[in-house]
A = this chain, B = another copy of it.
Amino acid sequence: MPTERRNSGVTRTPGLNQLHAIDAARGIREGLFSSEELVQSCLDHVRAVDEKVCAWAFLDPEHALRQARAADEWRLEGRAVGALHGVPVGIKDIIDTHDMPTEDGTVLHAGRMPDRDATLVARLREAGAVIMGKTVTTELATYAPGKTRNPHAPDHTPGGSSSGSAAAVAAGMVPLAVGTQTNGSVIRPAAYCGVFGFKPTFGLISRHGVLRQSRWLDQIGVFARCVEDLALIAEPLIGFDENDPDTRPVARLPLLATATQDPPLRPWLAFVKTPMWEQAEKETQEAFAELVEHIGERVEEFEFPAQFRQAIDWHRTIMEADIAKSFAAEYERGADKLSASLRGQIERGRRVPAVDYNRALDRIPALNGALNELFEQRCDVIVTPAATGTAPRGLDSTGDPVFCTLWTLCGMPTVTLPLMRGENGLPLGVQLVGRRGDDARLLRTARWLVNHLQQPQEDSP
């Protein structure tokens, strides 16, 4: 499908929207097709399917195409291009963009137009990405659902809070999207929608210009349709930002180079049921028993000490106290326009004493210390469910984040891989969790596992 940009209209190449981002970027770089064609293909697909999926909070096709044409012109002038040159990316609607509204999933912020891009959006633009549009979030990235439906079954939740980002990637409307996770808001929707999700280590990606729920829990994550694409988009996002006090000046992580390597030795995996295991559906429990058997000899079950059960409480203490502060203005201004569940969180959060809050925060290094021992002695990554089961039926809840909470609290890097299906045919995510800072190895192991499981019996996602 070779092409050059023409002045009148654009070649329509069906199926470009289904390309992996890494192939799309290569195709643009090598002149096989233009960014405009790619974006047009995505927009055509949006028009075809989004009425049912409702993934977008804001999408101006002309604005997306303008960015694509600018990217094409830039390339045709022979200038250097970034890793994402011409590739469209969906952005969760709590992440500021200077050229589109950012409404945070609440009528209280309707019409909000930020002056500036969030740091991560600026980094995407530097890497050449086309900012396709803003994807639907739950109310203020908490629990009350937005309008998005699960692309695999419209009467099932897509998960949340990054509902639109997961659904847009799953439905083929965009190859990449960005979301956020304060509890399970990247991994859960990715798992429910059957895409690849990646939440890097706490502090790697700046949250400046992103709606804050909790300084200690908020983390950025990405959605894609293969492991390489997770690395492709995460790598340019990572970096120090003086406006986010929890980012650190560190050497750039070679995520893509590492993720595309084969591991030097076959990885060790620890299957961890976690103390939340009883909350997993029977089907999930059985599927993971089979998965572990299928992986073979280098996976070992490991049981966490009981203290890990309390992680859920510590996480709630921090999150609710932080939400109460972060959304105090919204509560003052229009409590009646907030969902009852969010009002409840805020009201509980107001009663959290600072002493309990700080005690809960102190648990994070202690938990990481215990987890580091596991990584040092027993495994490269942890294998565990991404959610209690497949996406629940109904659109009044976004499902249970219980299988994400511990890893979010600890700030560990985690991916979900769409490697299994439930009896209802819906995707069932396999979550891999790495050691803090060991994001590159996590992605390398994830790619290895995908290949390993696909080799003998075409157990394709």
Contact = CB atoms under 8 A, between A and B. Distances in A.
Interface string A320-352: 011011001000000000000000000001111
A353 B355 contact: no
Interface stretch (A151-159, A356-364, A373-381, A413-421): A356-364
B355 A325 contact: yes
A128 to B, nearest CB: 31
Contact of A355 (B324, B355, B356, B359): B324
A354 interface: yes
Nearest to A249: B249
A313 to B, nearest CB: 14
Interface residues of A, number: 17
B249 A325 contact: no
A377 to B, nearest CB: 21
A321 B328 CA distance: 21
A350 B349 CA distance: 16
Which of A325, A354, A356, A357 lies at the interface centre, i.e. has the most chain B CB atoms within 10 A of its CB? A354
B321 A355 contact: yes
A322 B357 CA distance: 10
A353 B348 CA distance: 11
Which of A321, A325, A356, A359 lies at the interface centre, i.e. has the most chain B CB atoms within 10 A of its CB? A325
Interface of A: 249, 321-322, 324-325, 328, 349-359
Given A321-B353, A322-B358, A350-B353, 12 more contacts: A249-B249, A321-B354, A321-B358, A324-B354, A325-B359, A349-B354, A349-B355, A350-B355, A352-B353, A352-B354, A354-B356, A357-B358
28 contacts: A249-B249, A321-B353, A321-B354, A321-B355, A321-B358, A322-B354, A322-B358, A324-B354, A324-B355, A325-B354, A325-B355, A325-B358, A325-B359, A349-B354, A349-B355, A350-B353, A350-B355, A352-B353, A352-B354, A352-B355, A353-B353, A353-B354, A354-B354, A354-B356, A354-B357, A354-B358, A357-B357, A357-B358
